[in-house]
Structure 1
Amino acid sequence: MSRTNLFIVLAAVVLTVLGAFYYLGQKPVQSASLRQPEASDPIAGAALYADNCSACHGANLEGQENWQSPNEDGTLPAPPHDETGHTWHHGDALLFNYTKQGGEALLTQMGVTDVKSGMPAFGDQLSDAEIWDILAYIKSSWPDRTRDIQQQRSQAEQMRNGG
């Protein structure tokens, strides 16, 4: 395969994945308790993140190398959760459900079938409160402006979901 063809294929895959994540941000997400509780504990979340997330997403939220280029199986490497990644581009409901249900299950529920996700479900391993604590830890690493933008996206997501 020529370099040009390889570039076109990779660009198409990346655009498909980015389009799917944009689409995910527009579709309602169904689940209980989709607002992050005020009592979420980022300190507890840091320990939970270290135990459950850091093997893939990095000890410092840095993600895996080349996280925007698909692996041979079509899944993308684990993205960073710091401000250099796309986690903050999504509202709380999507982040919570993606963690709880896993990527494939949530994508399928939302009607997105052309994107493969390597994100496993943590609903059987972590309580809802623990997932919220992890999200609080991740958010605590973001600059104020990034947190503000993500909060606005969460509020817009709540409005779309009727709440």
Structure 2
Amino acid sequence: MGIAAFWYFAVRAPHPTLIDPTDEGLVVQGQAIYTNSCAACHGAMLQGQPNWRERLANGRLPAPPHDKAGHTWHHPDAVLFDLVKNGLVAGRTAPPGYQSDMPAFGSMLTDEQIVAVLAYIKSTWPSDVLRMQKEVTEQQQRQ
């Protein structure tokens, strides 16, 4: 099973309601938090680190982009929220044994701040990408 499929089926945590990228106040707040907490790894323009699909010498993957070129939009909101709050957790939001440099932000950011960051990220996606990500989120919520 691929990593994306693993995340989709493994995360059964309570999920936030659909994160709204059209809430301008939330997006502005999220952009400021992203700049301070996420951009160092994921890039000021959400571009990710160079060669993000190629493993580093330590076996881990560089930080992926969060723009439409990355895979962030392939995941439902609940998975994205869990990844930011708890980091990549082997056996839960990542395959067993998987190691990542993604930190858990749950002790640094409130749930509302995490939602704001995700609203900001989603606000940068084109409408077709937003529509597909919304469908994935709604499908998971029905399960």
TM-score (norm 2): 0.90
Correspondent of 1:79 among 41, 52, 64: 64
Q: Deviations over 1:29-74 (max 9, x none)?
A: 214x522455670110000000000000000000000000011111
RMSD: 1.8
Q: Which residue of 1 aligns with 2:133?
A: 150
| 2:68/2:129 contact within 8 Å kept | yes
Q: Max radius of gyration: which structure? A: 1
| Pairing 1:90–2:70 present | no
CA distance in 2, matches of 1:152, 1:41: 21
Letter in 2 for 1:35: T
Instruction: Give the 3 Å change call, closer, same or farther, for CA 118–91 of structure 1 in structure 2.
Output: same
Count of residues in correspondence between the two structures: 140
Equivalent in the alignment of 2:37: 52
Question: Unaligned regions of 5+ residues in structure 2, if any?
Answer: none
Note the alpha carbon deviations across 1:119-149, whole angstroms, 9 max, x for none. Answer: 1000000000000000000000000000000
Tell me, which stretches of 5 or more residues in structure 1 are unaligned?
A: 1-15
User: Residues 121 and 110 from structure 1, CA distance in 2 versus in 1: closer, same or farther, beyond 3 angstroms?
Assistant: closer
Matched, 1:67 2:52: yes
Greater helix percent: which structure? 1
Q: Is residue 123 of structure 1 aligned with residue 93 of structure 2?
A: no
* In 2: Cα distance, 1:132 partner to 1:27 partner: 21
CA distance in 2, matches of 1:41, 1:128: 12
For the pair 1:139 / 2:99, whether they are aligned, the reply is no
Structure 1 partner of 2:17: 35
Q: Flag the 1:109–1:140 CA change in 2: closer, same or farther, 3 A.
A: same
- The question of whether the paired residues in 1 share the 8 Å contact of 2:53 and 2:62 is answered with yes
Q: Which of structure 1's runs of 4+ aligned residues deviate more than 6 A?
A: none
AA at the equivalent of 1:79: P
